[in-house]
Every structure is written in structure tokens, then in C-alpha cells.
Structure 1
Amino acid sequence: MKKAGKSADEKESERRQKAQAKEAEKERKRIEKVRAREERVLQKEKEKALAEVNKLRTDKKVSAPEMIVDIPTSINPALKVQIETLLDELSVQHETWGSTIEHVVKWRRKVTSQFDEEMGIWKPIPMRIQDENHVLVIMQAVEFVQLVLSEETHDLEAHILRMKSSFPGLKLIYLIEGLTSWMRKNRNLLNRQFASAVRNLGAGAEPASSSNQPRRRNNNQLQEYIDEDKIEDALLSLQVLHGTLVHHTNAPVETAQWVTVFTQHISTIPYRRARDASADAGFCMESGQHA
């Protein structure tokens, strides 16, 4: 007996079921593609974020914009303008602050990443402001010499102790402006005094004239030769006994430039340490040695 074929309704029902299944499978694949595409985009965003925080940050141009430079209100206005102008060129933020010790510059950092030691990469974190480990005091040569020659409670030793007390545990930088020029003038004064003494001897030791008397400055202060050994000993004490970095500049514009140089260097320190934590980075500021 011949088996009866499917009715038209049954065939239509099967056709609809197949069409629905095919449509459902098509939708499932579409959803999977969309999900996969979203995951790829998300993965690329993560990779991009990681790449951004893992740029070669030992490059000061990359790391410097993280810094905030706090400039003391006591600083000379012209020098302040010079420093701010140079920092603006580096896209470095700067603010003013009322330091209890005159002319102290300090630094903060906008921290946006944290080093993962296991993976060896920097990972993004919510931004926070963090104090840096260095402070810098700008000192004029005349001020430095006065401290060297002052009484015990107001001398250079007292100044360094105040710095250490005000900024415990931080690395100190003394940026001294004009000391090379001061020492040259001081040496010239000694040479003039010596030449004058020789002339007097050649003239038969006549009574001292006004020419070989200690010269007076325009402000009527007596100008006398200062033993350079005292200045050298004071510089050595700062570096060796107190572990500070001492750097010399010759003019305000050079002082401003070196504030930016130190800013750039400090910005790279954590990245260089992460790159090679076990090795000495070899820069004078980290070891406390004279440049």
C-alpha cells in the first residue's frame, strides 16, 4: 500500500519551521559577530590605554607634563616669570606657594599609572596628586657667603638643618646663583691688595694711602677679601656631610633654565627605576653627589 504524502499544511508548517530556525541561526551569528566586534574594540582600547601608559617615559618630553612645579611667593618676580615661561613651553603646570623658608621650589606629580612588577608594565589608575621626593632652594651668592660667615645660629649649618626639618626625608638641591662671579671678584680684590702692597714696598714703605685701603661699595659697605677656603669648605660640607646636590648658575635666566632641567629629570625618575630597579641610574641627584 502506497504511503500517503504530506499534506500541504504539513509541508507549509515544516517550511516555516525551517525558515524560523534559519532566521534564528542567522540572528545568533549576527549577535556573535557584534559581540566579537565589541570585544575586539574593547581589547584594542585596553591595549591602547596600556600602550599610552607604557610609552618610553624615560623620555622627558613624555613624562614632564605629569609634573606640577610649586614656585615660592618669595622669589624675584622677574625670575618667576622666566621660570613660568619655560615651564609653559614644556606643558608643565605651575603654582605658587608660601614656603616657610625663602626661595624653595618643590614638585608634585599627577600620577595616572602604577607599575605591575609581575607583568612588567604600567597600568592606568585613577589620577592622584603625589608629592615628589626633591626640593630646591635658590640662593644668591651674597646670601650664601653671608651664611658661611654668620654666627652659629644663623649660619649655613642652621639653614641646612631648617631645610631638613621642614622637608624631612627629601633630597635637597642648592641652586647657587653668581658664586663663580663672586669668587672671581673676590680673587681680583686680593690681587689688587697684593699689587698695592708691592708698590708700597717699592716706594720705600711710605704711609698707606687711600689707594691701598679696603675699597667701599656704592652702598658704603667695606669690601674685604674673604678666605676662599671657607667657601669651598662650606660647599664640601653641603655635599659630603649633608648629601645635598649643589649646582651653580651665573645669571637669573640660567637659574630658570635649571629649574626646568631638574623638573624634566625628576619626572623620569620612577620610569627609569622601573626599567632597571637594580641598577644605579648614575645621575648625581639620585646619589646625592655633585654634578
Structure 2
Amino acid sequence: MKIAAIDIGSNAARMQISRVLENDGKISFKKVEYVRFALRLGHDVFNDGEISPESEVRIFKLLNAYKLLMDLHEVKDYLICATSAMREAGNANAIVTRIQNILDMKIHIIDGSKEAELINDVVVQALDDSNYLHIDVGGGSTELNIYSGRKKVASRSFKIGSVRLLEHKEREGDWEKMKKWIEMHIDPEKSEITAVGTGGNINKLFNLSVNHEKDTSISIKELTRLKDYVAGFTYEERINKLRLNADRADVIVPAAEIYLNAMKWAGAKYILVPDLGLKDGIIKMVYEKIQNRKKGA
């Protein structure tokens, strides 16, 4: 059985198709298809408050392409979740309605807490009983979650994201709010804490690190070095020399600043990079929805 997740973010829209595997009573998901396209909805919304007609056309075309690909894979079920940019777009509900009427595809606009919950459901599986600060940086928002003994003890969403910073659309005081929240919940003198990073930018920075094939984490010192290294290249050089995607090349440095600030305020010396994200949480939710339907049948 194959299932799919579509994540419409502020920077890009991703679709992952996974096969459900069962081995000795344990369920796992094997990725069989992954497609990412830079919609850059945050550029419209954070500047103008709405998704432009041109971007709406691209959403239609992309979802239609995703629908055809899911048909080819004979996907049993799927779910579409949209995050920060569509949460804030004044015309989001009208677009969702038009897409459902024309393509018969329903977009679920989820709030920051639901976004964090879906990511947490898969990230927690990569943790042990130590203390962790989970930092998920998107284009329009950053979700922070604190874990102790594999249990979430605090959670908060902040309107600070890579695209929002790139467009200089963060609000005055947002950084200070994040700093105060972290310092209120974490005392590095009482207990050691490790950061956990999710999001495309931390994955790319991790892959640029010297020990990425040996370790699953990088130090704050190495992450600082990587940020400065990438920042030393022009936008064109990042694309041609570092081989970054065009929509990654401009947001990767602002994203790195978010991870580094959160780590510094929490006193975290290392950041674990498990290569998990919202799409993986959506996949898990789709599978659970199918199982619940079977139980109700």
C-alpha cells in the first residue's frame, strides 16, 4: 500500500509518496517518490497579505501534477497540509474552495500547534531520555518544543522564518519573545540540553559539514562556521559552486541564524539532525486515518 503527504510551505511545496511496510508486527514507511517545487508563497503573503493570481495558477498546476503522479503510483490515500503563508493569506479560503471544486483536492490549513504536533510525532522517535530543544524552521514560522524523558513539556510557535527574515517582514520584538520564552523554560546551568533541528535548511547545512557521513549531529561552533562559509559566497556562487537550489541559496543564511540564536539562548552545544519533517508526520497521520477507518468498518 502506498500513501502520500503534501506539505505546502511558505517557501516550497513538497510531496512524498511512501510505501507502508510491515515486519514482525512493526510498521515503517519507505519513501518511493519525493518532489519539491519552490512556490514562494511567503513572498506574496508577507509583502501583500494575499496570494497573487500568478501564484494561485502555479498552485493549481502543481497540485494537478501531484494528483497525476499519485494516480500513477496508485496511492490509496493522501493529505494536503498548508502552513504559515496560507494561514496568513487573506484569500486562502477562497483559493482552497476553488481548488476543491476544480481538482477535488482538499487543502487543510493547519495552525502552528498542529504543525508542531505532526512533526513531533516522528521526531520523538529519534530521541532518548535526555533533554532536547526541537527547532523546526520554516519559511514563515519557527516551532520550538522542549522534551524531557521523551515527553514534550513546552511548545510555542513564533512568526520568525527564513523567507520572512529574507523579506525583512519579522515584527519588532519577535526575536526578544523567542529569547525570553527559551530562557523561561530552559536553564543550561541546571541541566544540559541538546538541540534537534528539522527543516530543509538545517539538512542542507548538515550535508555541507565535514563529518556528516560519520555523525548525526554538529556543534554550534561548526554550524556557525558553516553559516559564515555560505554567507561568504554570492547568491550566484551558492547556486553554481555550492550547488544549492535557487530557492535555498537565499534563505539558508537567515535560517541558520534562527537555529544558532535558539541554540545560544538555550545553551545547547550540539544540534541533532534526524532528517525528518512535516511530510513524515503527515504520512503517519494518513496511515492512522486508514487504520481508524478499518476499525470503524
Task: State TM-score, norm by structure 2.
Answer: 0.26
More helix by share: 1
More strand by share: 2
Name which one, 1 or 2, has greater alpha-carbon Rg: 1
Task: State TM-score, norm by structure 1.
Answer: 0.26
